[in-house]
Structure 1
Amino acid sequence: MDAAVAFSDADAAALYDLLNPWDAKRFPSDAFYDELVMAAGSVLDVGCGTGAMLHLARERGHPGRLVGLDPDRAALARARRRADIEWVESTAAAARWNAAFDLATMTSHAFQCLVTDAELRASLAAVHTALRNGGRFAFEMRHPQARAWEDWNPSKATDIVDAGGRTLRVWHETESVTGDVVTFTGTTAAADGTVLRVDRTSLRFLDVALLDAFLVDAGFGIEARYGTWDGGPVTGTSQEIITIARRR
């Protein structure tokens, strides 16, 4: 079976929305970002995916400039269902705005997709340039001490019915851990076990010290740092590293 025909990029983008609905009432992480976005006059969402966060901001009456940036064409096709938001197909490093935004965000652990030192430096430089003086950059990473990748295996599979009525099974499986980079696969299968699609992704798990070194080198100061979505500190048991950095 041709996986590209059986389960297209558009199918994968639609499934993402089903598996990861943006809902501030259910998810404290979404509430955290919603508050920041609604308080900012202009927002750049880096790695916006299907655009759910910005969609909701506009629905709630955000009057300012909202821009979503992502290299995934299929995800942006879903994002573009709202035409009152700007959507740009590009990577963070290739962003070319200059002092245009009060707030930049990277939600859903998208920051960890910046795997190499060169990607990190180029992306942080572009975000820094896109922000106005004093502008803020909010994002989160999984804390490496929580070793989240150890739970990425087929026993944690999720069953879901997609918009077309198909019953699907989705799971992640860790392939390798090399230094602070974890490579894993995401598999989508039909109800009978037929594999429809396999995607491979690498994520970087930076510790706090190295993360902050990259931020400072890029011209950011650390305004706030949390280990929980309700504002708790980073501790020896934190699962998240939540950062609000400010352009100096």
Structure 2
Amino acid sequence: MFSDADAAALYDLMYPWDVARYPSDAFHHDLVMAADAVLDVGCGTGSMLHHARERGHSGRLAGIDPNRAALERARRRTDIEWYEGTAADVSWDREFDLATMASNAFQCLVDDDELRASLAAIRTALRDGGRFSFETRHPQARAWEGWNPGNAADVVDASGRALRVWHEVESVVGDVVTFTETTAEPGGAVLRVDRTSLRFLDVPALNAFLAEAGFAVEGQYGDWFRGPVTDTSQVIVTIARRT
């Protein structure tokens, strides 16, 4: 068996938060450290907020995520607020200077109603002029074409267990990609299969949802160094301000 707790621990191993190594982590970290009160939507195992506190953030830090196992890892640090659920499940009112959705968590908002509800809740949680930062994979890069068993990753978890992890796309319907993540032993014995759907919005569609929700785009970038979005960009990095 490969439990939810095992999967959460493996995520931290495969995708460590490292501002020195990953420009994406550094981008979000700088924004978090400059804000007095931060809400991390889709916080996962809490690595971003853990790191901010370790680096001396003395203000309010709050994280919310529907994954209970991930939150159990996040809650190892007790000087941060942790909530189980989605942004639409809570009712903060003008309490935060910054809201974030790092690590492409924004793409998990798959249907229009879910996206609108989350954006409305995030806007309500922000103070007047507060900012919302997030990224999404640019659909023109077609990242899902690399999600196949040929790109499997071989890892050793914290207990010393050798594992192989790979992805397979099940369907591409409009702007929604559904795929599986398989965790197995190196010999092929499958331990766990998880299924996920992600939405790949282009810039016009993304900005239309933001405007409808009451956000103005303050900055939008095609890389983590604040370069423009171009016809070769693999990511859309957005900072939107509550209007």
TM-score normalized with structure 2 length? 0.99
Choose from 172, 176, 198 the match for 1:181: 176
Partner of 1:23: 18
Q: Distance in 1 between matches of 2:23 and 2:35?
A: 19
The AA in structure 2 aligned to 1:37 is: V
Partner of 2:65: 70
Partner of 2:136: 141
Partner of 2:126: 131
2:36 matched to 1:41? Answer: yes
Q: Distance in 2 between matches of 1:192 and 1:20?
A: 24
Structure 1 runs, 4 residues or longer, greater than 3 Å off: none
Residue 96 (structure 1) shift: 1.1
Q: Distance in 1 between matches of 2:194 and 2:86?
A: 19
The alignment covers a number of residue pairs equal to 243
The AA in structure 2 aligned to 1:201 is: T
Q: How does 1:50-199 map to 2 (within 5 A)?
A: 50-199=45-194
Q: Distance in 1 between matches of 2:14 and 2:124?
A: 33
Q: What percent of counterpart residues are identical?
A: 73
2:205 matched to 1:202? Answer: no
SS at the partner of 1:14? helix
Q: Distance in 2 between matches of 1:240 and 1:83?
A: 33
2:231 matched to 1:241? Answer: no
TM-score normalized with structure 1 length? 0.97
SS at the partner of 1:43? strand
Q: Deviations over 1:67-109 (max 9, x none)?
A: 0000000000000000000000011221210000000000000
SS at the partner of 2:45? coil
SS at the partner of 1:242? strand
Partner of 2:223: 228
Residue 43 (structure 1) shift: 0.2
Q: Deviations over 1:16-48 (max 9, x none)?
A: 000000001110000000000000000000000
SS at the partner of 1:30? helix
Contact 1:95 1:127 in 2 (8 A): no
The AA in structure 1 aligned to 2:117 is: A
Q: Distance in 2 between matches of 1:53 and 1:91?
A: 18
SS at the partner of 2:172? strand
Q: Distance in 2 between matches of 1:36 and 1:165?
A: 36
The AA in structure 2 aligned to 1:94 is: D
The AA in structure 2 aligned to 1:233 is: P
The AA in structure 2 aligned to 1:139 is: F
